[in-house]
Structure 1
Amino acid sequence: MLKTEKACVVSDSTITKFGVRPPSTYSMKIQSLSQLKTLFSGTDGYKSRTFSSGKYNWRLVIYPNGNEKDNGTGFISMYVELDSKSLSSNVLAYLTFFIFNKKENKYFTIQDVEGKQFNALRLVHGFPQVLPLDTFNDPKNGYVYDGDQCEFGVDVMVPLTNWEVVSFTQKPTNKKFSWTLNKFSKLKEHCYVSSKFLIEGRNWVLKLYPKGNNTTCSTWLSLFLHLADSETKTMTTGEEIYTQCDMRILDPLESHHVTLKLNQWHKNTSGWGWSEFVSLAKLEEAYLDKQGSLKVEIEFEVVSTITYSP
């Protein structure tokens, strides 16, 4: 027997309105309402063929004379039935039923915003009192049109099982990282990598090239921000992380730091920065301390974080 949790059209968790057709629906046009009423009395409902939504199969069930066993006498009663063959566990679904009004060229809709749990013990949910039969049957109101036709439909929305939540953290904690390179003028390696530093759950490194990262910028210092190798191995295909940060070469006299702002999305294989961050001539003139050390700093203003479904 078809049952529902609520025996009224409007409640605190129910919305009724006129509007356009929901974005994803299954609709059923009845060519002869009188025949449908004759074939399906108050104890029987007409079931549509199965349709798919959220990897499950469903049927729309209409009681054109009202479902007497569910306190639906005097109303159009509408339900959705989950095909038990496609059931593997509890299924949460949000239901929106609609009835076409040709006079208004709109759809009367009724929706329970709380969602319904379908399972092996409860395969059917819906509303016994969708629209009064006196209102529905009167051709002047537009629900029955072109002699004896009408249209019913339903939108079954099953929440996605795969999702992501993206957030942007402004001015994160521990937002600064400083790195000192001693005896800068005597550095021999092509590239130097800082120790890892943690920002908003991700490990990062700076890569510095004392004489440029390529031959065309050999008179410049090159500086780049990279995700640490341990992070790139855990990132999913296509995943990106947004950063907004200031990268600096610090002035020992604390008067004129060289600061460039970075706003980029980072992939697991890419680093971002500048091949020509500061000229070596300018650096040696004003940015090495008395011991010949160079101090680099990065300060994060915004970092994106992503949470995925299990």
Structure 2
Amino acid sequence: MLLFTYDTTGISRSIVDVPPAHYTLKIQSFSLLLKNSIERYESGEFEAGGYKWKLILYPSGNKNKNAKEHISLYLALAETNSLHHGWEIHVNFRLFLHDQNNDKYLVLQDAERKQRRFHKMKVEWGFDQFIPLKDFNLVSKGYLVDDTCAFGAEVFVSRERNTGKGESLVMMKDAITYKHTCEFDNVSKLDSESYDSKPFNAGNQKWKIKLYPNGKGTELGGYLSLYLALANPSTLSPGSKIYAQIILRIHDQKQAKHHFGKANYWFSASSHENGASRFLPINNFTNQHSGYLVKDSCLVEAEVTILGVVEAFS
């Protein structure tokens, strides 16, 4: 250890040579997090001391804690359902930031290795002002190099079990938009809940458009529902995620006044379908004066822009 200091808030900051034992969160194209509306990022789960945890990062500060011009970083329990009634976990943890210039690590922890008590009403502890943004962005500090950085965590309960797991979040600098249009025929005769387009490629994944002609869930009978889904979600490895901007559009075949919706979503093996249950009122869709349904056919288009990809690694 090269440096060991305390500040007035009871937080110790030290410089160490050894990387974090339990988890590493590497982020490429860090500057694109906020540009793509990611004000809060939750890492994948990792295990330490017999419990599952995750890191929570606020790239420009936790606004709820008035942490302006800082990065906020926290440790949180990822799974509490299996814990017994009245559970408490006393934890000593350290959070890391890699100095890539010197291959060393800035480490923050509570002064005098103070233990934090995790319980039902408090599942998250950390540092509202982990590091000032002006220091983080300073080239000479080495924390952000080529728009890439790495955070980490060590967690000590009553015993330690090192899994060495981690993840890499890559934000796309030059995101490419993929477009796909499909035609659904004989819409009035469709009798299944949903219909899929043929799979199409966007990024390194296959996708499909899902049309629910009579609505989905609580919107049955009132709205046409439209979704984008991963065609083969089982091919995603556990912990992998895709952050995408999607635009779903139904063509107006008469006046070219197309109806569309736009949103950003995280896609994963467990959340492989996202979209709008109230995409278009069925009355509007079937109205003979509109151009959405012509000769019992409709044209549906999807635009997919991959903004970021998370890959788990061990």
- TM-score normalised by structure 2 residue count: 0.45
- TM-score normalised by structure 1 residue count: 0.46
